[in-house]
Structure 1
Amino acid sequence: MSDSKYFATTKKGEIHEFKEDLRSLDRSKKKEAVKKVIAAMTVGKDVSMLFPDVVNCMQTDDLELKKLVYLYLINYAKTQPDLAIMGVNTFVKDSQDPNPLIRALAVRTMGCIRVDKITEYLCDPLQRCLKDDDPYVRKTAAVCVAKLYDINSELVEDRGFLDILKDLLADSNPMVVANAVAALSEIHEVSGKDVFQITSNSLFKLLRALNECTEWGQVFILDSLAAYQAKDSKDAESIVERVSPRLQHANCAVVLSAVKVIMKQLDLIQDDALVRQLQKKMAPPLVTLLSAEPEIQYVALRNINLIVQKAPQILSHEVKVFFCKYNDPIYVKMEKLEIMIRLASDKNIDQVLLEFKEYATEVDVDFVRRAVRAIGRCAVSIEKAAERCINVLLELIQTKVNYVVQEAIIVIKDIFRRYPNRYESIIATLCENLDTLDEPEAKASMIWIIGEYAERIDNADELLEQFLETFPEETALVQLQLVTAAVKLFLKKPTEKPQQMIQLVLTYATQETDNPDLRDRAYIYWRLLSTDPDAAKEVVLAEKPVIMDNTTSLEPSLLTLLLGQLGNLASVYHKPPEAFVTRSRMAVQRAEDLAPASFEEEGPISAGASEAMPGPVAGPEVQSHQPDLLGDLLDVGEPTPPAPVAPTPTPPQPTARPPAPPTSNGNLQELLGGLDINAGAPPPAPVAPQQAGQADPFGSPAVRQDQAGGSSLRQLLTADRGKGLSIFGTVARVGGQPVYQLRFQNETAQPLDGFMIQFNKNTFGLAPANQAVNVGVIGPRSSGSASVPLVQNPAMVSPAQAPPTLQVAIRNNQLGVAYFNDSLPLPAILVEDGKIEGSVFVGSWKSLPEANEVTQQLPINIGSLESVRARLAAANLFVMAHKQVAQTNEEVLYITGKAATVDTPTQLLLEVRYSKAIPGIKAFTKSTRPDLAPFVFEALPALLT
């Protein structure tokens, strides 16, 4: 009979019916009631109030009923820890039952009930089951040890469970061995301790069990063997010989785990003939994986991508296998395309190019673009095939398909960089398609080609003029290339027309833009031209380094790490496990012991996650053509205001000029190599009076509150400066972690999405834990809020500022990047454990040198002492003592706190003296970081009044 009847719709009074049936003396009626309770629990109904009645059903000889009751207990024991103790006696009794299935069921259930009170009762039954005569019970108990370790690691170590698990590695039953390996591996990974180390003796036992256990047991054993470091070549050959038959297994996970072990041992094998034989043997199993369903194909392709980066010869003769089929999903096609590029050589390039050319005529635009780009990457990496690749690209350009032409121009720019002065004859063909260019990347690439080969293009100035007509509306990528191309044209053809052109470009780039990259580059070029034209030629027209195609190759250390993770999620993401997995203890606590949720409880986020994430190697190679504006635009120091200007426009005439004395203009000064940005020739045109906030791209936070949101967030960016986007925000401390609380007001007529955030360097090294801002899509005339957890990154620390300032860039897909400044409130970086005892305060004050003491008179009056204590405590500053000095009629407050500086937290010691008869206070502070004193003094008025 079908069990669907148990999932009927809810009836009134059914809980009462369940309770009556559970108390019935009729066994069949009681069993039916338990089934109905489990069905209700399965569909999400709360049946926890039946806990005592269900527990009373545990003592039964019916194995099916016992399984159902145990299932209920696992689900509700965490919410009823006190009542769960009722079942302990039955668990202990069942663990000694003559039936091995019941013994295993009892110990498995006790391990799944994550309640601290039950843990101590689990130890004795578990110890017996680990030495049980039946292998089914032993293998179940082995896994239970790992569960117990997650609840109480000290208990596992004290009771000797780890030693028993190690003894199980020599068990006669292969499944027991496999489960022992799985449990030890899990404990080893969770604890970070060296609890599982394969020796020569245990290695033989694992290899012996490998052929007899189930497929998932084989995976566990192979994964552990992948971490084993062979002693010598002979040892490695022995391991490979025993593992090689697993390559023929039907389970994909077993195949990938076997490949992982063999790849690890290949480096140690000295017999070249054996290495080649093994590499040849690995190819068919990997190819077979591509005959599975698309999801498995994708996982296999991601793993194969790693393998061919390490040893492309394994699949060098199998490139045809990776040709795309018409019905392949796009994610499979993209991965196949990447592997085809890696396997392409001068022997098979004709076949590969024919495929790429065919792909470039498909209907999927993204796939077509990737195919065209693949042709360019093959040209860059295979010198002998470059000319054939060029011919294919020219054929694609003749199709006049807009996106194909533009992608071809992008990759041809890379080919020119890879092979300078070899294929410039095709520039004329490229110039014929100028009118069709509408994408920023394609425009930037074409402008680069015109500027780089301006001396060979007769009408280069006319071609650049076409782009200059729309200069103000172009993206930053195109504007930057236009500035550089105009300078190159001026240096190569210093005639009247290029002079007028460069005057126009530099005028806009220095006066009409708020893009710091564009403005700084224009200033640098201007100073070079006006100071030393010969030096300008050497810098701008210098020979460029030859690029290579390794943008999608992983760093060797990361590649080695990922090859050790073949078959795991890390090999699919191409990221180390710690980049996307956080481990937290899962032991269930009593409800009253649970603290309020905080960001730290949700899992630690590594500092500077954006910087730590592995990714393509960047540099002078073939770069990804999507500009990382957020990253590039923030790699600047303090923004430098525009230079003073002359009253009348003056064309830039290069004149020799001695270098000016150095000034302190931040990173721009360093880039100029000692030139004073305010000295030398004036810019080419007068600057109109700038509106407030235009000189500094970050601007200053407005004082206006966010009244629409009903909060105390300050307005950081106005709609006129944010192109229709208003931003309100503040840095607060939530759950022991600094959090940037933001509110976005979209005053445009289009939806905004794809919000990202990044900080410049700052006093405390604060950075967003994740660049993506989880605010979703903000509709027109709507608003959205987000909380961005912040972390401290040593690489983001800058010299102390008073008051500390955050330079913030926020970008979205529609409006681009917006900049603003925000002040950092002191409570945001004060940790909760800053309170110390009086003796420690006095000892610390005396131990610090007098030079670390900073004093400041503040014109404020202290109110009620109780209210002051409360405000300071809310900010994690603690009044350690209050003293009245009769001689001077003064009152003294001794205050402590601890600032979360990057290296080690800095203890802040404060003494505040005041008198009710005399207005004002005198504040003293001492710490190991006296540079933080202005920050403290700046915050005191708001905290004390």
Structure 2
Amino acid sequence: MSGHDSKYFSTTKKGEIPELKEELNSQYKDKRKDAVKKVIAAMTVGKDVSSLFTDVVNCMQTENLELKKLVYLYLINYAKSQPDLAILAVNTFVKDSQDPNPLIRALAVRTMGCIRVDKITEYLCDPLQRCLKDDDPYVRKTAAICVAKLYDINAELVEDRGFLEALKDLISDNNPMVVANAVAALAEIQDSSTRPIFEITSHTLSKLLTALNECTEWGQVFILDSLSRYKAADAREAENIVERVTPRLQHANCAVVLSAVKIILLQMELITSTDVVRNLCKKMAPPLVTLLSAEPEIQYVALRNINLIVQKRPTILAHEIKVFFCKYNDPIYVKMEKLEIMIKLASDRNIDQVLLEFKEYATEVDVDFVRKAVRAIGRCAIKLERAAERCISVLLELIKIKVNYVVQEAIIVIKDIFRRYPNTYESIIATLCESLDTLDEPEAKASMIWIIGEYAERIDNADELLESFLETFPEEPALVQLQLLTATVKLFLKKPTEGPQQMIQAVLNNATVETDNPDLRDRAYIYWRLLSTDPEAAKDVVLAEKPVISDDSNQLDSSLLDDLLANISTLSSVYHKPPEAFVSRVKTAPRADDEEFADTAETGYSESPSQGVDGASPSSSAGTSSNVPVKQPAAPAAPAPMPDLLGDLMGMDNSIVPVDEPTAPSGPPLPVLLPSTTGQGLQISAQLVRRDGQIFYDISFDNGTQTVLDGFMIQFNKNTFGLAAGGALQVSPLQPGTSARTLLPMVAFQNLSPGAPSSLLQVAVKNNQQPVWYFNDKIPMHAFFGEDGKMERTSFLEAWKSLPDDNEFSKEFPSSVVSSIDATVEHLAASNVFFIAKRKNSNKDVLYMSAKIPRGIPFLIELTAAVGVPGVKCAVKTPNKEMVALFFEAMESLLKFELLNLNKALLTTN
């Protein structure tokens, strides 16, 4: 739609939908085209025009490319919500994929890939197969991307129909853009698969390097990123790759430059010739410098990448430190990154220039930047021994300016310099002591106190200086209190005169009797015992020589640095974290339509492969994409090797969540959920449990059949708490007549069902020998009660008062009984229902308790009961009214425990 089409976005007419319907069915082409534009405009501003689906689809039969594009746009938007109607468009898609016009062929296949409806995917296969071999390169490159989209919807279909092989064939295509798209699609598929799919060989390597010179900039990025995964066989091949990639360093697109730098850095590891390495370092410097003339956002990304590069190869930019000097109008995030790189590139040769810059920055207006600049001076002093004296003189000049935060930061870094160069620069302590009164930040105070304690024998009035801090000892932060305690002990050990003796008594008394900080109290007791039993041993401990601190400018571990360098030009290199730290990879599995199992446990399950259960050989089953009605046997299949996948039995994706492996479960028998009569000899018992703050599904399988059962998989339907499997079901092959019990880690709030809260949990389990078994379980809400649910008495009262009366509910539990207050409190505490207070009301006890479920929803509880008498009244106040019914269910089941205890006691007595 062009600029003058804005008229389609405004309407004042009534009955807009009927009017549009009429226009869409007009006999005049122009009127139909205008109507479709109006529909797209309405859709764009958020109006629901899905009721016009059939009418818009009827407009697909047109030669007008503009109109066809608009209809396809509408289809992409609404096909998911109208999957049955979307099938109406299939014939037109198939027809358009054979149109003489390559633009229409490509448009058809692109749109079919964007319509994520499982029922349509099989119709897409034949047109896609044709388009992958189309005469026109534009159609082939579009079809290549479509394969990646189809793989995301149904991986098994892509593999069965040979699309992966077709993609690999396209790498040898004579059109560089087709090659680039094939590489992009294969890389995308590889990222979502756990087994090797796209492996570059020496043959494909030359194809990709050839295509590199001719394709578009983003095509080059895809190819370069894929090449970065290739490990050269020897130094000669590495040199050849670098030679072919080096021209990309001159590219105008920053992404191309960084991707080329990544490959060169990786291949340089294999190159043995020092001349070649030196030459490459020279070639990489200018393009990296050029990146810093771009806009600030690109500068920032470039700087984060350069930060990694200079840690590995500082020589690349050793002579370019001036380009990292901060400009007055640089945004603060750019300035901070430049400072970091300047510290890394600082050397004896350029330190004078660098210190002049840092001194200038320390007089700027941005407080955070000034602090960082002062700290940078200290870091340079620690890094460069020969420059330490010059750094200290700059710090002293800054202290004389008497800007409070500059002084405090300077004292913090001077403390580190003293630790790096002991007994070298202590002559400046007198200057530091002049600023004592201005210190108000905990870290600066702690640093100054450390200096006084460490050099107490050289400071005449050390006791007076420390005494000035002692006046406010109880109010000081823990950091300052700990330093003050240690410094006073040091002073006493170095000058055991009357003044320090009185001080040490006051400090030890404050730190043991007047504090509730366990760290401070424990340290004080240790000092006290040392001083009172063996002062010489105290000297050995407190005045022991400390290890010299080292330069921290290259903070990253070498293996992490290598990992990050392999991910240059990605988010990983900006975050300085490996990809797995912030990306949850979704394991590929064929997917049923998300909505199919929303309403009932009786239909709409689809079988999908899950991680194998017998260690190294995971297994799968046939019938992967078909919907299986209840108890209708699925065709068994022989085990086949499968990637490490979590299946999608109920039509939704689950990210694999790493969970510490629990110990093998034991304990009382589990409730039977699938009796052996229903499960053709297989009996399944299970319940949700909470252990160490994590929810598990404690599940047991009893094999009463005559055959070995293996390949167990499990899936949970959408539910109120969004419970889903947090890993694979670990069950070894089950021999006839044996049983197995396992703890399956669960994750919450990933698989949420809409509608009113319910404790229903619908489960599907299958194995390689039997059909899918479906059964229902109950979600005990107390499994979600968190360990952080305890409230202080005052917080409880405030929360109770702050909630309106409408949020208070009560219920009688006639069959529940409190056998003893202590036993009830202990039992409820084990399920994270915490005791707060108790009072008497005539002959009954009233207990006040609190619990909390995830997302910070508290439950304020009042239990009223007479000990030993059946009948407990439970009142609760909570901001979330919807959860009250489930809460009462949970409390009633917890209180039944007491009734069982009482019955046992009576039976024992009788």
Normalized against structure 1, the TM-score is what? Answer: 0.67
Find the counterpart in structure 1 of residue 389 from structure 2.
Answer: 387
Is 1:57 equivalent to 2:90 in the alignment?
no
Residue 6 (structure 1) shift: 1.6
1:110 to 109, 112, 127: 112
> Does structure 1 conserve the Cα–Cα contact (< 8 Å) formed by 2:224 and 2:259?
yes
Deviations 1:187-218 (A, max 9, x none): 11101211011001110110010001000000
Deviations 1:20-65 (A, max 9, x none): 1101111000000101111111111111111111111111111111
Find the counterpart in structure 2 of residue 708 from structure 1.
Answer: none
Deviations 1:80-106 (A, max 9, x none): 111111111111111111111111111
Letter of the 1:7 counterpart: F
Find the counterpart in structure 1 of residue 696 from structure 2.
Answer: none
Name the CA distance, whole Å, in 1 between partners of 2:485 and 2:902.
63
Deviations 1:685-716 (A, max 9, x none): xxxxxxxxxxxxxxxxxxxxxxxxxxxxxxxx
Letter of the 1:206 counterpart: L
Is 1:86 equivalent to 2:92 in the alignment?
no
2:548 to 546, 549, 561: 546
SS at match of 2:292: helix
Find the counterpart in structure 2 of residue 166 from structure 1.
Answer: 168
Find the counterpart in structure 1 of residue 289 from structure 2.
Answer: 287
Find the counterpart in structure 2 of residue 720 from structure 1.
Answer: none
Find the counterpart in structure 1 of residue 135 from structure 2.
Answer: 133
Residue 9 (structure 1) shift: 4.9
Is 1:593 equivalent to 2:597 in the alignment?
yes
Name the CA distance, whole Å, in 2 between partners of 1:481 and 1:805.
41
Find the counterpart in structure 2 of residue 275 from structure 1.
Answer: 277
Distance change in 2, residues 1:443/1:746 (3 Å): farther
SS at match of 1:426: helix
Residue 823 (structure 1) shift: 11
Find the counterpart in structure 1 of residue 313 from structure 2.
Answer: 311
User: How do residues 529-544 of structure 1 correspond to structure 2 at under 5 angstroms?
Assistant: 529-544=531-546
Distance change in 2, residues 1:57/1:739 (3 Å): farther
> Does structure 2 conserve the Cα–Cα contact (< 8 Å) formed by 1:733 and 1:827?
no
> Does structure 2 conserve the Cα–Cα contact (< 8 Å) formed by 1:454 and 1:460?
yes
Name the CA distance, whole Å, in 2 between partners of 1:602 and 1:496.
70
Residue 441 (structure 1) shift: 0.9
Letter of the 1:114 counterpart: R
Letter of the 1:392 counterpart: V
Letter of the 1:593 counterpart: F
SS at match of 1:550: coil
Find the counterpart in structure 1 of residue 736 from structure 2.
Answer: none
Name the CA distance, whole Å, in 1 between partners of 2:232 and 2:849.
56
Name the CA distance, whole Å, in 2 between partners of 1:320 and 1:476.
42
Find the counterpart in structure 2 of residue 832 from structure 1.
Answer: none
Normalized against structure 2, the TM-score is what? Answer: 0.69
> Does structure 1 conserve the Cα–Cα contact (< 8 Å) formed by 2:786 and 2:851?
no
1:485 to 473, 484, 487: 487
Residue 878 (structure 1) shift: 11
Distance change in 2, residues 1:287/1:37 (3 Å): same
Distance change in 2, residues 1:918/1:355 (3 Å): closer
SS at match of 2:480: helix
> Does structure 2 conserve the Cα–Cα contact (< 8 Å) formed by 1:165 and 1:184?
yes
Residue 238 (structure 1) shift: 0.5
Q: Which moved more, 1:104-113 or 1:2-11?
A: 2-11
Distance change in 2, residues 1:573/1:9 (3 Å): farther
Find the counterpart in structure 2 of residue 505 from structure 1.
Answer: 507
Residue 273 (structure 1) shift: 0.4
Deviations 1:776-801 (A, max 9, x none): xx9x9999xxxxxxxxxxxxxxxxx9
SS at match of 1:191: coil
Letter of the 1:919 counterpart: L
1:36 to 35, 38, 45: 38
Name the CA distance, whole Å, in 2 between partners of 1:556 and 1:805.
45
Residue 558 (structure 1) shift: 1.2
User: How do residues 924-939 of structure 1 correspond to structure 2 at under 5 angstroms?
Assistant: none
Name the CA distance, whole Å, in 1 between partners of 2:148 and 2:34.
35
Distance change in 2, residues 1:67/1:802 (3 Å): closer
User: How do residues 872-911 of structure 1 correspond to structure 2 at under 5 angstroms?
Assistant: none
Is 1:66 equivalent to 2:53 in the alignment?
no
Name the CA distance, whole Å, in 1 between partners of 2:66 and 2:79.
20
SS at match of 1:919: helix
Distance change in 2, residues 1:496/1:914 (3 Å): closer
Name the CA distance, whole Å, in 1 between partners of 2:220 and 2:311.
26
**Unaligned 5+ residue runs, structure 1?**
609-731, 749-777, 784-800, 809-821, 829-858, 865-869, 880-894, 896-909, 923-945
Distance change in 2, residues 1:533/1:117 (3 Å): same
> Does structure 2 conserve the Cα–Cα contact (< 8 Å) formed by 1:803 and 1:823?
no
Count residues with an aligned counterpart: 674
SS at match of 2:48: coil
Letter of the 1:519 counterpart: R
2:333 to 317, 331, 334: 331
Find the counterpart in structure 2 of residue 919 from structure 1.
Answer: 906
Deviations 1:536-574 (A, max 9, x none): 111111111111121662111111111111111111111
Residue 919 (structure 1) shift: 2.7
2:254 to 242, 252, 273: 252
Name the CA distance, whole Å, in 2 between partners of 1:862 and 1:193.
60
Deviations 1:630-681 (A, max 9, x none): xxxxxxxxxxxxxxxxxxxxxxxxxxxxxxxxxxxxxxxxxxxxxxxxxxxx
Distance change in 2, residues 1:38/1:403 (3 Å): same
Letter of the 2:296 counterpart: P
Find the counterpart in structure 1 of residue 665 from structure 2.
Answer: none
User: How do residues 511-526 of structure 1 correspond to structure 2 at under 5 angstroms?
Assistant: 511-526=513-528
Residue 593 (structure 1) shift: 2.4
Find the counterpart in structure 1 of residue 823 from structure 2.
Answer: none
Deviations 1:836-894 (A, max 9, x none): xxxxxxxxxxxxxxxxxxxxxxx989999xxxxx9999669999xxxxxxxxxxxxxxx
Letter of the 1:288 counterpart: T
Letter of the 1:273 counterpart: D
Name the CA distance, whole Å, in 1 between partners of 2:483 and 2:559.
35
Find the counterpart in structure 2 of residue 7 from structure 1.
Answer: 9
Name the CA distance, whole Å, in 1 between partners of 2:571 and 2:365.
32
Find the counterpart in structure 2 of residue 767 from structure 1.
Answer: none
> Does structure 1 conserve the Cα–Cα contact (< 8 Å) formed by 2:781 and 2:890?
no
Letter of the 1:152 counterpart: N
Name the CA distance, whole Å, in 1 between partners of 2:56 and 2:141.
28
Name the CA distance, whole Å, in 2 between partners of 1:915 and 1:516.
41
Is 1:567 equivalent to 2:565 in the alignment?
no
Name the CA distance, whole Å, in 1 between partners of 2:502 and 2:902.
70
**Unaligned 5+ residue runs, structure 2?**
601-649, 661-778, 805-826, 835-847, 855-866, 873-884
Distance change in 2, residues 1:164/1:745 (3 Å): farther
> Does structure 1 conserve the Cα–Cα contact (< 8 Å) formed by 2:560 and 2:578?
yes
Name the CA distance, whole Å, in 2 between partners of 1:334 and 1:594.
51
Name the CA distance, whole Å, in 1 between partners of 2:478 and 2:540.
25
Distance change in 2, residues 1:806/1:862 (3 Å): closer
Q: Which moved more, 1:63-72 or 1:571-580?
A: 571-580
SS at match of 1:464: helix
> Does structure 1 conserve the Cα–Cα contact (< 8 Å) formed by 2:784 and 2:853?
no
Find the counterpart in structure 2 of residue 226 from structure 1.
Answer: 228
User: How do residues 830-841 of structure 1 correspond to structure 2 at under 5 angstroms?
Assistant: none
Letter of the 1:574 counterpart: H
Find the counterpart in structure 2 of residue 376 from structure 1.
Answer: 378
> Does structure 2 conserve the Cα–Cα contact (< 8 Å) formed by 1:452 and 1:488?
yes
Find the counterpart in structure 2 of residue 430 from structure 1.
Answer: 432
Residue 474 (structure 1) shift: 0.8
SS at match of 1:286: helix
Is 1:146 equivalent to 2:133 in the alignment?
no
Distance change in 2, residues 1:918/1:44 (3 Å): same
> Does structure 1 conserve the Cα–Cα contact (< 8 Å) formed by 2:453 and 2:491?
yes
Letter of the 2:584 counterpart: T
1:445 to 435, 447, 468: 447
Deviations 1:912-932 (A, max 9, x none): 98997983689xxxxxxxxxx
Deviations 1:402-458 (A, max 9, x none): 111111000000000000000000000000110111111110000000000011111
Distance change in 2, residues 1:367/1:246 (3 Å): same
SS at match of 2:110: helix
> Does structure 1 conserve the Cα–Cα contact (< 8 Å) formed by 2:221 and 2:255?
yes
User: How do residues 405-804 of structure 1 correspond to structure 2 at under 5 angstroms?
Assistant: 405-550=407-552, 553-584=555-586, 589-594=593-598
